[in-house]
Amino acid sequence: MHRGNRHGRSEQARLAVLQAADDLLVENGFARLTVEGIAQRAGVAKQTIYRWWPSKTDILFEALVTDAAEEITPPDTGDPTRDLVTHLCALARFLTASDAGAVFRALTAEGQHDPALAARLREEHLTGQRTRDRQLLERAVQRGDLPVTADLDTIVDRLVGPLYYRALITGQEITTEFVTDLVSATLKSA
């Protein structure tokens, strides 16, 4: 089980820690997520965690970046509007129902009182996410569903903002109908 050598860390230990952190977060919530507990669950020494991750949020961070991209990569069926609805529904599912989404919510929460974490979250996750969101709008422009003059960034805000709002703030359900109406209204007004 020991890997110890001069050329780098144990991949086994790294994955065990990420998995344990993910599991414990989902099981017990962020408040009860402790480095001590992660170490025990992962069968790893605390020092090994502190050696590679400055804090427990960094562990979650790594877990998030690893998982998120694949879960919410937009489809491309040739019908931008339909793809948009599909993609936003996937995003809603990610935010409300997936393990990675739980990690995202926890990190966003921490980011409220930790500007550095918030910044890192934007750089390493949100930027990529917005790029994926934009792709669909760019295809819509190409198809003529949106005017070339449209401010796509603002439109992204108008599309995903209500989803994040419902998922993180009000907790209202995000139905397909809600998404469909949101998309059609937003595209129409652009």
Map residues 60-79 to x or -, x wherever contact with its own copies holds by CB under 8 A. Answer: --------------------
- The listed partner (its own copies, DNA, none) that binds 6, CB under 5 to 8 Å by sort, is DNA
State which of residues 114, 128, 135, 145 lies at the interface with its own copies (CB under 8 A).
114
> Which residue, among 135, 170, 171, has the nearest Cα to 156 in the 3D structure?
135
**Which helix (H) or strand (E) segment is 13 a member of?**
helix 11-28
Please count the other Cβ atoms lying within 10 Å of the Cβ belonging to residue 34. 13
What H or E segment, with its residue span, contains residue 152? helix 152-164
Residue 5: which region, alpha, beta or left (left: phi > 0; alpha: psi -120 to 50)?
Answer: beta
Residue keyed to tokens 């930027």: 127
List 27, 29, 50, 127, residue binding DNA (CB under 7 A): 50
Closest CA to 20 of 35, 36, 37, 42: 42
Helical H runs in 43-126?
A: 46-52, 56-71, 80-97, 99-111, 115-121
Position among 5, 112, 170, 189 found at the interface with DNA (CB under 7 A)? 5
Residues 6+ apart with CB under 8 A from 134: 152, 153, 156
State yes or no: residue 162 binds its own copies (CB under 8 A): yes
Residue 13, contacted partner among its own copies, DNA, none, CB below 5-8 A by kind: DNA
Q: Contact with DNA (CB under 7 A): which of 20, 56, 83, 104? A: 56
Does 127 bind DNA (CB under 7 A)? Our answer is no
Annotate each residue in 80-109 with x if it binds its own copies (CB under 8 A) or - if it does not, as one string: -------------------------xx-xx
Q: Does the footprint of DNA cover residue 48 (CB under 7 A)?
A: yes
Binding residues for DNA, per CB under 7 A?
Answer: 1-10, 13-14, 16, 32, 34-37, 43-48, 50-52, 55-56
